[in-house]
Amino acid sequence: MRGKFKISALLVLLFLASSCSDFVDINSDPNNPTKPTLSLLLPATQMSLAGYFNGVNAGGSSAMQHFASGALNRWNQSGTSFSTPWSGFYTATIPDLETVIREGTAQEAWGYVAIAKLEKAYLYSIMVDVWGDVPYTQAAGEFADPALDKGADIYTSLFALIDEALADMNKSFTVAAGSDIFYQGNKTNWTRMANSLKLKMFNQIRLSDPAKASAGIKALLSSGALLIADNAQDFTFKYGTNVTPNARHPWYVSWYGSSRGGYVSMPLVNNLKDSDDPRLRYYVFRQNSTVGLANSNNGEGYYGREPGDGAASPADANTRALIGIYPAGGLYDNGTIKTLTAANVYLNNTGAVSTSTSNSFKIPLSTAGDGTGAGILPLITNSMVKFIRAEAALTMGTGEDAAQLLADAVTAQLTTVSTLAGSNKGTTIPAATITGFVNKVKTQFTAASETGKMELLMTQKWIALFGNGVESYNDYRRTGLPKLGDLVSPLDVFPLRFYYSETELTSNETLIKDRETIQRAQQTTPVFWDK
Q: What is the pLDDT of residues 422-454, one digit of tens each?
A: 999 999 999 999 999 999 999 999 999 999 999
Contacts 24+ apart (CB under 8 A), 28-37: 35/103, 36/99, 36/100, 36/103
In terms of Cα–Cα distance, which of 222, 168, 228 is closest to 196?
228
Amino acid at 128: V
In terms of Cα–Cα distance, which of 183, 256, 241, 257 is closest to 424?
241
Average confidence (pLDDT) over 408-429: 98
**Dihedral sign for Cα atoms in the order 26, 31, 32, 37:** positive
Going along the chain from its start, the domains and CATH numbers come out as 38-185+494-524 (1.25.40.390), 240-374 (no CATH), 382-479 (1.20.120)
Rounded to whole angstroms, how far apart are CA atoms 396 and 167? 28
**Dihedral sign for Cα atoms in the order 134, 139, 145, 146:** negative
Count Cβ atoms below 10 Å from residue 331 Cβ, excluding itself.
30
Rounded to whole angstroms, how far apart are CA atoms 342 and 349? 10
In terms of Cα–Cα distance, which of 237, 227, 347, 222 is closest to 281?
347
In terms of Cα–Cα distance, which of 130, 196, 197 is closest to 158?
197
In terms of Cα–Cα distance, which of 332, 326, 516, 503 is closest to 416?
326
Rounded to whole angstroms, how far apart are CA atoms 65 and 243? 29
Distances (CA, A) of 240 to 233, 243, 373: 19, 9, 7
Amino acid at 32: N
Q: Which pLDDT band holds residue 33 (cuts at 50, 70, 90)?
A: low
Residue 24 predicted with pLDDT over 90: no
Beta strands in 169-212 (DSSP E): none
Q: What is the largest CA-CA distance in the chain?
A: 87
**Dihedral sign for Cα atoms in the order 419, 271, 466, 478:** positive
Share the mean pLDDT of the chain: 94
Average confidence (pLDDT) over 517-529: 98
Q: What angle do CA 180, 161, 222 make, to 5 degrees?
A: 95
Enumerate the H helices of 65-109 as residue ranges. 83-88, 94-107
**Dihedral sign for Cα atoms in the order 422, 433, 324, 71:** positive
Rounded to whole angstroms, how far apart are CA atoms 188 and 207? 31
Q: Which pLDDT band holds residue 3 (cuts at 50, 70, 90)?
A: very low
Is-contact 220 203, C-beta < 8 A?
no
Strand partners, 360: 357
Share of the chain above pLDDT 90, in %: 93
Residue 406 predicted with pLDDT over 50: yes
- What pLDDT, on the 0 to 100 scale, is given for residue 357? 97
Share of the chain above pLDDT 70, in %: 94
Cis? peptide before 490, omega within 30° of 0: no
Is-contact 336 290, C-beta < 8 A?
no
Tens of pLDDT, residues 473-504 = 999 999 999 999 999 999 999 999 999 999 99
- What pLDDT, on the 0 to 100 scale, is given for residue 450? 97
Rounded to whole angstroms, how far apart are CA atoms 79 and 33? 39
Where b means 16+ CB within 10 Å and e means fewer, 27-64 reads eeeeeeeeebebeebbebbbebbbbbbbbbbbbbbbbb
- What pLDDT, on the 0 to 100 scale, is given for residue 53? 98
Is-contact 364 371, C-beta < 8 A?
yes
Tens of pLDDT, residues 279-289 = 999 999 999 99
Tens of pLDDT, residues 214-225 = 999 999 999 999
Cis? peptide before 43, omega within 30° of 0: no
Q: Which pLDDT band holds residue 147 (cuts at 50, 70, 90)?
A: very high
For the chain, the first-to-last Cα distance in angstroms comes to: 32
